[in-house]
Amino acid sequence: MRGSKLQGTLFSPAPTPRSGRDIRLPGGKVLRTTPVFDTYWRFAAERQEVFFRRLSGNPPPWTENSVLRSFRFTNVYRASDRVSQYLIRRVIYEGPQEEEEVFFRTLLFKLFNRIETWELLEARLGPITWKSFDFERADAVLGAALQEGSRLYSAAYIMPSPLFGAARKHTNHLELLRRMMADHAPRKVASARSLREVFQLLRSYPSLGDFLAFQFTIDLNYSELIRFEEAEFVVAGPGARSGIGKCFSGTGGLGEDEIIHAVTRMAGQEFERLGLRFRTLWGRELQPIDCQNLFCEVDKYSRMMHPEATPEGGRTRIKQRYEARLVSIPHWYPPKWKLSPSA
């Protein structure tokens, strides 16, 4: 598949798709699209091509699309992102596999969502396990790093601090994890009957709102602790809600989660309609979590490609610039998915 070749100024607008198309869903509800909706699929196809071109060892640039070459966008499949890959391979599946251990490692990593923070704790405390973890030592290690100017948290999204009275956010997050373990959260998660039930459990803890509780639910579902289909449940984050608002001028009264599920189901026919070749993740079709992320990314992408779609007072710039790096990226996914990345 060839990428969209942008000519003229650095960020030329996308070709104008047919606007105002009605999509009639089962049950009679109608989605009315905007030009951004076609861009959603074009973005997905080209971003996935970038992933495969880079994975094959081709030198940069991996696309002729100047927006994708200039700014950072997450992978189409959430599990392919660098931090998710590290979490799956180095955190979830390395170390003891008892439910308490897997839950503890996953939440400890995700509360900071930063590889360097995890590696700092490993370097200073040794192998990280629930049975041997020293919260006070961990707090001291992170406090010293903070004083030296190190960043503890990822910039991917805001991590609100639970109000446990400590002066430092990281101390409050360690206390949150301690309380979750004391509340037997790992056992409760392992006993859950659905992704929604896991989400509701995590949502009940201080500072874990809808977005974080859902993200952590998906992360835990990468493990063997729970084995639910990603297709069964989704929660739209703030960026995805904004992207949905740009893709549709009418939603027929559907909620954001219903729209994401509907868009996930229509992916194949939309790629075909636009004449796009979309390479799945070695046979794994797009899941609602991936389409949720795509709405968030197209919200950013459209700031350059469809500036007219940005509402008054909305964000008009993309903050994170992209720097192409020639590195080997061995990809590894939850074994239960039965993918063959080397094939």
DSSP structure string for 23-85:
EEPTTS-EEEE-HHHHHHHHHHHHHHHHHHHHHTTPPSP--S-HHHHHB----SSGGGSHHHH
Tell me the average pLDDT across 267-276.
98
pLDDT of residue 133: 98
d(CA 167, CA 128): 25
| Element at 174 (helix H, strand E) | helix 169-182
Instruction: Report the Cα 332 to chain-centroid distance in Å.
Output: 16
pLDDT over 60 at 172, yes or no: yes
Q: Is the peptide bond before 160 cis (omega within 30 degrees of 0)?
A: no
User: For residue 194, which amino acid is it?
Assistant: S
Q: Retrieve residue 224's tokens.
A: 């063997």
pLDDT at position 190 over 90: yes
pLDDT of 184 reads 98
The rounded distance, in Å, linking the Cα atoms of 334 and 195 is 17
Residues in CB range of 14: below 8 A, 6 or more apart: 4, 35, 39, 42, 305, 306
Instruction: Decide: helix, strand or coil at residue 119.
Output: helix
pLDDT grade, residue 328 (50/70/90)? low
Q: What is the mean pLDDT of the chain?
A: 91
C-alpha span between 5 and 7 (Å, rounded): 6
Q: Enter the tokens of residue 190.
A: 């392992």
User: pLDDT category, 3, cuts 50, 70, 90?
Assistant: very low
pLDDT in tens, 71-121: 999 999 999 999 999 999 999 999 999 999 999 999 999 999 999 999 999
The answer to whether 249 touches 35, Cβ cutoff 8 Å, is no
Question: In sequence order, what are the residues at sequence separation of 6 or more whose Cβ sits closer than 8 angstroms to the Cβ of residue 227?
Answer: 221, 336
Share of the chain above pLDDT 90, in %: 83
pLDDT at 92: 98
Residue 327, pLDDT score: 58
Rounded Cα–Cα distance for residues 117 and 199 (Å)? 25
Q: Span 40-60, mean pLDDT?
A: 94
Instruction: Report the pLDDT value the prediction gives residue 8, as an integer from 0 to 100.
Output: 30
**Cα–Cα distance for residue pair 11/65, rounded to 1 Å:** 9
Mean pLDDT of 219-244: 97
Read off the pLDDT of each residue in 208-230 and give the average, rounded to a whole number. Answer: 97
Per-residue pLDDT for 332 more than 90?
Answer: yes
- pLDDT at residue 13 greater than cutoff 90: no
- How far is CA 284 from each of CA 36, 90, 128, rounded to the nearest angstrom? 25, 22, 32
Q: Is the pLDDT of residue 15 over 80?
A: no
The H or E element spanning position 250 is strand 248-250
Q: Which residue has the higher pLDDT, 9 or 49?
A: 49
Confidence tier at 11 by pLDDT (50, 70, 90) = very low
Return the pLDDT at 156: 84
Q: What is the per-residue pLDDT for 6?
A: 34
Say how far residue 275 (Cα) sits from the centre of its chain.
27
Query: How confident is the model at residue 329, as a pLDDT?
Result: 62
The DSSP symbol for 90 reads I
pLDDT at position 326 is 62
pLDDT band, very low/low/confident/very high, at 5 (cuts 50, 70, 90): very low
Q: Is the pLDDT of residue 12 over 50?
A: no
Residue 10 has pLDDT above 50, yes or no: no
Specify the pLDDT at position 220.
98
User: Listing from the earlier edge strand, what are the strands of the sheet with 248-250?
Assistant: 22-24, 30-33, 248-250
φ/ψ (deg, to 5) at 34: -115, 175
The helix or strand, by DSSP H or E, that contains position 249, with its residue range, turns out to be strand 248-250
Residue matched to tokens 């805001």: 158
Q: Is 197 helix (H, G, I), strand (E, B) or coil?
A: helix
> Which is more confident, 214 or 56?
214
Q: What is the pLDDT of residue 19?
A: 58
